[in-house]
Amino acid sequence: ASYANFYIANQLVLVPTFNDPNDRVALNTLAALFPDREVIGIACQDLVLGLGTLHCMTQQQPA
C-alpha cells in the first residue's frame, strides 16, 4: 500500500498515513491537488498488513 491509496469523498480526501516523515509530504501534496477538499490523514499502519488501506477497503464485496 502507499499514499496513492487515498479515498476521495464529497468534501474531503482521506489519506493513509504510516507514522513516517513522508506522511506530511503526502498530505501537503494532496492538499495542493485538491484545494476544495479537506485532506485528512488516517493512521493505516495496521490496516496495511492485511487489507490494503483506505481505497482498497471501500471496494465492492462479491455477492
CA pair distance 21, 53, nearest whole angstrom = 18
**pTM for the full model?**
0.78
Q: What is the pLDDT of residue 27?
A: 97
56 is annotated as an active-site residue: yes
Please tell me which residue in 36, 37, 56, 63 is annotated as part of the active site: 56
CA pair distance 45, 59, nearest whole angstrom = 19
52-62: pLDDT as tens digits: 666 666 666 66
Q: What is the pLDDT of residue 19?
A: 92
